[in-house]
Structure 1
């Protein structure tokens, strides 16, 4: 399938809202009969989507993936694949490809034999196996390495073999559990794009598990942010970053400044918040209680300005510079603002542009639109 066709298919599915491939319906999981690792999972995944389950260790994301794969059994609730219940369906009968972090390749087999294994257990003829294996290896740019063994290959090449093996029998769904966790940063970023492009070209459905928020933002159509066995927010990468619904999501996705305060008034979508320093700012009322309740203000470091701020700016706070760190394309200025000594501002680096010095006192400012009033931390 061409890349444009795959994208069109996903767009159509998103619009009609009826082409659901995977459904988690009230799914719970406990290992000891007391503590729920997954508390109440309700999730629908459309055909052709790339959905990432993102969260810290112990949040329930991997357990959810393993239940979908068939390696774990739900304590309560039901999982459907293409409208069919997966209860009592063993893993090898689910038409699901799987890519693990440790690759799980057979060391005594060649690359071609590893990739052909899912076909051989399904009774595919030798001639058809040869054709499909060659096609799968060409897809991951390993056509010239079919006779090598895994021990003769780099980590990135082994991961490509594992990906080819998951795709070779043309499953309707591919699951990936931290597949890039063992790779170095540069190779990991390269493989992110490789997987994204394969997904786009084939139009397959991928459910991906990671604790790396940058990886999730780069690759996904939608991201389910897990914490404490519950999906905190299910949204597009842009939606999660720009409009987090609670303080956990705001802090887990990207860099974030947080200032505690008290809600003084609410007017439509905006509220006035008094900070610990006594200063008052305007913010978007996203997830707050009533007047007098505690809140945590959230805003991104790149949304804060430290230049050209007039005295009449509505969200103008006094600060002191603690340190500046050069990152090449930008400078991070760490400051003490409204009682927080970890307040961060991102400045684009330009030759000749003055950089604030430690100990310097200046003002920071941000718009009410870029400042979210959320649940207290």
Structure 2
């Protein structure tokens, strides 16, 4: 995908990055020609590996970094020369950033004090924010008397207490354990649903992004690779990077032999043939990577009725309760995975056995072939 990413349609965007570039040394661009529009009330996640440019974009929106080129606009106002404290933006960080010498209520009142709000209105807003994160009776405690999850709730409440135009969250759940992290994902999602506030969220955790977002911008090397709702990213990745970064993905190398009506015929590296949707392959004669999700692969007798059928050798079966994760060698690769529901008959599925595998053309995408595949 190119370096320009289409935004939302219908009305003026609430947040807009226009031709934004960022370099720290004057030579290397960490953000490359970014165009991104976000609608009012959206929950958009910037997702990508370390160094992909996502946090830099968030910091430019917050005002802690300045674009080398281009404009950042919030609610119709260019932000390039607006200092951070005048942007009316709430921030939530991974380390909570609570004042340890203040009570929870005093922490929440702080952004209201600097806005010269009356004492009675401050008290009302603080209590409302505490109730919103289910900490209504915790106002008198200090941060050190709270668990990590409670401290993070206070940080979320503090970001929302002054009714900001926009809330930015930078890896806010990174320090929490798995169970608490998942619980907080749902809580933040529900707060967003109830308040309708615009949220821009940064994470490298794909499950977190899929759980919480209206749309996800997948970053790599300073460029948005794809911008789409969670189900589109998972079911319809635009390129090999997105297919491999979002969810589990089986990849097979081959060469495109023919393309007709958006469907390509591919000669796999081991000589077998397959059909797939032509998405970002190299065209007829070009190298491609086939992408098919583990839960979309049929095995045994069911495979024979599929559009594509290949042979696989069973390497390993891992029992995971609701499904059996079956690792196989297919087309010379020993990392091909099939997820088999626990209720399915598993006759013949023993390590060392050869079995038929198959998939429907609509579930397989012919994408660009990464180096090393």
| TM-score clears 0.5 | yes
Contact 1:319-1:364 at 8 Å conserved across structures: yes
Aligned counterpart, 1:47:
40
Q: Does 2:350 match 1:337?
A: no
String of CA shifts for 1:65-103, please: whole Å, max 9, x gaps. Answer: 000000001000000000100021011100100000000
Q: CA deviation at 1:314?
A: 3.4
Matched position secondary structure for 1:156:
helix
Give the alignment of 1:209-248 within 5 angstroms: 209-248=202-241
Matched position secondary structure for 1:318:
strand
Q: Does 2:121 match 1:128?
A: yes
Aligned residues: 364
Aligned counterpart, 1:154:
147
- Tell me the distance in 2 between the aligned counterparts of 1:310 and 1:50: 40
Match of 1:92 among 85, 89, 95: 85
Q: Does 2:270 match 1:277?
A: yes
Matched position secondary structure for 1:197:
helix
Aligned counterpart, 1:177:
170
Aligned counterpart, 2:4:
none
Q: CA deviation at 1:145?
A: 0.7
- Tell me the distance in 1 between the aligned counterparts of 2:89 and 2:277: 43
Q: Does 2:221 match 1:205?
A: no
Match of 1:29 among 3, 22, 42: 22
Q: Does 2:294 match 1:301?
A: yes
Question: For structure 1, which runs of at least 5 residues remain unmatched after alignment?
Answer: 1-13
- Tell me the distance in 2 between the aligned counterparts of 1:354 and 1:123: 72
- Tell me the distance in 2 between the aligned counterparts of 1:246 and 1:103: 36
Aligned counterpart, 1:7:
none
TM-score (norm 2): 0.95
Contact 2:93-2:169 at 8 Å conserved across structures: yes
Q: Does 2:307 match 1:317?
A: no
Q: CA deviation at 1:350?
A: 2.2
Q: CA deviation at 1:354?
A: 4.4
Matched position secondary structure for 2:298:
coil
String of CA shifts for 1:222-257, please: whole Å, max 9, x gaps. Answer: 000000000000000011001000000000000000
Matched position secondary structure for 1:369:
helix
Q: Does 2:349 match 1:360?
A: no
Aligned counterpart, 2:242:
249
Aligned counterpart, 1:11:
none
Q: Residues 313 and 234 from structure 1, CA distance in 2 versus in 1: closer, same or farther, beyond 3 angstroms?
A: closer
Contact 1:29-1:39 at 8 Å conserved across structures: yes
String of CA shifts for 1:324-350, please: whole Å, max 9, x gaps. Answer: 111111111000001111000001112
Question: For structure 2, which runs of at least 5 residues remain unmatched after alignment?
Answer: 1-7
- Tell me the distance in 2 between the aligned counterparts of 1:207 and 1:290: 37
